[in-house]
Structure 1
Amino acid sequence: MGNKSSRHTHSSIKKIREFDKIESEQEKQEKLLDYYLSTDSGSIDRLHMYHFLRGYIFQSNFSSPIEDKLIKGGCKVLDIGCGPGTWLLDLSNKYENSHFFGVDIKPVFPQEIKPNNLEFFEADVINGLSFQDNEFDFTHAELMSLMFMPDQWDFVLSELIRVTKPGGYIEVADRRNGYVGEGPIFRKITDATWASCLKRNIDVKMIYNLDSKFELQPNIGKVHRVEKDFIVGPNGGKIGLVFQDIVISYFTSDMTVKVISEEMGISEEEYRDLTKNLAEEFNQTNTECVHVRFWAQKQLSNGQP
């Protein structure tokens, strides 16, 4: 999630390697969060690639019916947890007459080289958004399911709705944190990943039913769900191969090796030996991955859009 210098990357990895010296559970959770908010160049490259993969899967960058307004111009769009800003850069170049805003807790987005209709802000959405009520025509969040605890999700959704204009759209997109038909190696690794999330009080299954949480918010119309699935690996064609590369790159990165091997109770060398067989396992399995989008229109207080 702008590339960071090698010095910064080394610093992040060094913090993770100090796990055995941590006494406070709060400090350990903060280190885990630092891992999930990794900003090394490898993480950023994966996010760029993953953005275009998701766009290809859905054949669009969003599912809300907002494109006509974006083309017409004057439309204001907010993306929270924007990371390196790939989604916003893509849209701001395509819809030059509309205006785009990105927020992230870490300033890994472009500072200078960006379109004139795009602005970025460093902020933590958990502290609330600094925008006025009813300011945006379209608010968006993607790949944030492992960032927020359930009660935090209630607040994040309420903030997205608050800053959205009546008649505007709110969209949340993510991947189901679970797979179907995976092999034993991939299952062991992903189970350890979900276990590390639970240590931060993250409900990894919440994204399966985010629409029900969405519907509890005031001034929200019908919540729509759009799902797309594919097979990971060569049995899923080109899409499957690209996602396989993303998966293997992630699970063999230095920071992931450290955190997940520790979670599994094995050495880093044993973990690396395990991941060497991932590509072959994907070749022998039909591991299904599901991506989902939820979108809804903000209503007036009397229930009318």
Structure 2
Amino acid sequence: MMSKKSKDSLINVSKNEVWKHDLDSSNFETNDINEATSLLLDSYKTYNGRQFLNDDDLNCLLPSDKIELERSTLSYLLMRHRWKGNFCSPVKEKLNTSGTTILDIGCGSGLWAIDMGLNHPSSSIIAIDIDPFKFPSSDRCPPNVCFLTCNAIYGIPFPQNTFDFVNISMMWSVFSEAQWILVIKELVRVLKHDGWIEFTEPDPMVRNRGKKLTWLLECFSKACQEIRDVNVHIHEKIPNYIKEMDELKDLTCMSVDYPLGGWYGCFGDYALKNFKRVFQGLVFLPKYMEMSDEEFNGLLNGCLEEANKNKAFFTIYKCFAKKVSGEVSII
């Protein structure tokens, strides 16, 4: 039987427990390591050669493997370049004040959190993700950045009014609409009065698209909704979710276009490659479209040629809002 300390060292994502390291304990048994390894391997499943998190409560559309980690890294670098920074909320002055706290949801490889930690050494950054194996090693992190294993749909493990700034970016492929509402309520709960929350999500419906890309995107949208209950057009809903919350005010929405293809130079070429990798990760899509993998790859390549020829682009939106002050006026 596993010792209690060994059980505590495992990652229980659904209960949002922190991964603890206790290898110095004299009670740590060799067979515990084997059992722990087995349980961690059970955290994943393989489908069409790609690795996915193995949890029935998850709606994640994209894989959780090295290939996806590399794609999401490219996505982050493109985002930072296109937006000329890591945030648009009016918090720059606050972030350079000692004691400021930042929360990053769905941090992935943690590049956003690391950049923020380096650029704003007076702030403390907590970055959370459901998959801890994406986290960078401690020697790659500034001292003011911490990573935590957490599934946000079960709640954020912090008291109310904890963070000055909350960031949630490119989570379109993760939550159902019902889960989005739960998560947003939790994020507002842990946000301080007068703190800011910022959302960054894409509109997947590429403009200047041809017939092939139109068909692909329509099938993609339907498949995500029918198979995983995920609305990939969540960028349309987020402003309304914010408006419906009495705790938030000063909503601002901004957008930036992302050109797809070499017609726009190096950026467009990389953006198109990233776009292709997203669809390569949607391994359920060929079956939904009643196509073989070979036929699907042919269609995808045709779509990319079409996008480049038509000078296609898509748009990414940012919405940010402020939590109302907790002060009560006395008349």
Q: What residue is the counterpart of 2:185 in the other structure?
A: 158
Counterparts of 2:191 and 2:129 in 1: how far apart (Å)?
Answer: 18
1:115 aligns with 2:142: yes
C-alpha contact 1:12 1:38 (8 A) present in aligned 2: no
Alignment of 1:122-271 (within 5 A): 122-199=149-226, 200-252=228-280, 255-256=281-282, 258-271=283-296
Q: What residue is the counterpart of 1:44 in the other structure?
A: 69
Q: Secondary structure at the match of 1:162?
A: helix
Task: In structure 1, give the amino acid aligned to 2:198.
Answer: E
User: How far does the alpha carbon of each residue in 1:261-292 deviate from its partner, in whole angstroms, 9 at most, with x for none?
Assistant: 11110111111222233442222112221011
User: How far does the alpha carbon of each residue in 1:180-237 deviate from its partner, in whole angstroms, 9 at most, with x for none?
Assistant: 2212222232222212210222222231241111111121112110111132112333
C-alpha contact 2:113 2:125 (8 A) present in aligned 1: yes
Unmatched segments (≥5 aa) in structure 1: 1-7, 19-27
How has the CA–CA distance of structure 1 residues 138 and 32 changed in structure 2, closer, same or farther, with 3 Å as cutoff? Answer: closer
Q: CA deviation at 1:104?
A: 0.9
Counterparts of 1:96 and 1:219 in 2: how far apart (Å)?
Answer: 29
C-alpha contact 2:59 2:229 (8 A) present in aligned 1: no
Q: 2:78 aligns with which of 53, 63, 75?
A: 53
Counterparts of 1:84 and 1:243 in 2: how far apart (Å)?
Answer: 19
C-alpha contact 1:215 1:222 (8 A) present in aligned 2: no
Counterparts of 1:72 and 1:180 in 2: how far apart (Å)?
Answer: 42
Q: Secondary structure at the match of 1:177?
A: strand
Counterparts of 1:229 and 1:168 in 2: how far apart (Å)?
Answer: 28
Counterparts of 1:265 and 1:31 in 2: how far apart (Å)?
Answer: 26
How has the CA–CA distance of structure 1 residues 131 and 296 changed in structure 2, closer, same or farther, with 3 Å as cutoff? Answer: same
C-alpha contact 1:182 1:287 (8 A) present in aligned 2: yes
Q: CA deviation at 1:243?
A: 0.4
Counterparts of 2:244 and 2:70 in 1: how far apart (Å)?
Answer: 36
How has the CA–CA distance of structure 1 residues 193 and 31 changed in structure 2, closer, same or farther, with 3 Å as cutoff? Answer: farther
TM-score scaled by length of structure 1:
0.84
How has the CA–CA distance of structure 1 residues 263 and 17 changed in structure 2, closer, same or farther, with 3 Å as cutoff? Answer: farther
Counterparts of 2:194 and 2:321 in 1: how far apart (Å)?
Answer: 10
C-alpha contact 1:145 1:204 (8 A) present in aligned 2: yes
C-alpha contact 1:234 1:282 (8 A) present in aligned 2: no
Q: What residue is the counterpart of 1:25 in the other structure?
A: none
User: How far does the alpha carbon of each residue in 1:106-149 deviate from its partner, in whole angstroms, 9 at most, with x for none?
Assistant: 11212423221111111111101110111100011001122222
Task: In structure 1, give the amino acid aligned to 2:180.
Answer: W
Counterparts of 1:12 and 1:284 in 2: how far apart (Å)?
Answer: 39
Bigger Cα Rg: 2
Q: CA deviation at 1:301?
A: 4.5
Q: Secondary structure at the match of 2:274?
A: helix
Q: CA deviation at 1:31?
A: 10
1:98 aligns with 2:123: yes
Q: What residue is the counterpart of 1:285 in the other structure?
A: 310
Q: Secondary structure at the match of 2:273?
A: helix
Q: What residue is the counterpart of 1:4 in the other structure?
A: none
C-alpha contact 2:59 2:176 (8 A) present in aligned 1: no
C-alpha contact 2:117 2:125 (8 A) present in aligned 1: yes
Task: In structure 2, give the amino acid aligned to 1:164.
Answer: L
Task: In structure 2, give the amino acid aligned to 1:239.
Answer: F
**Percent identity among equivalent residues?**
25
Counterparts of 1:281 and 1:110 in 2: how far apart (Å)?
Answer: 37
What is the count of residue pairs matched by the alignment? 283
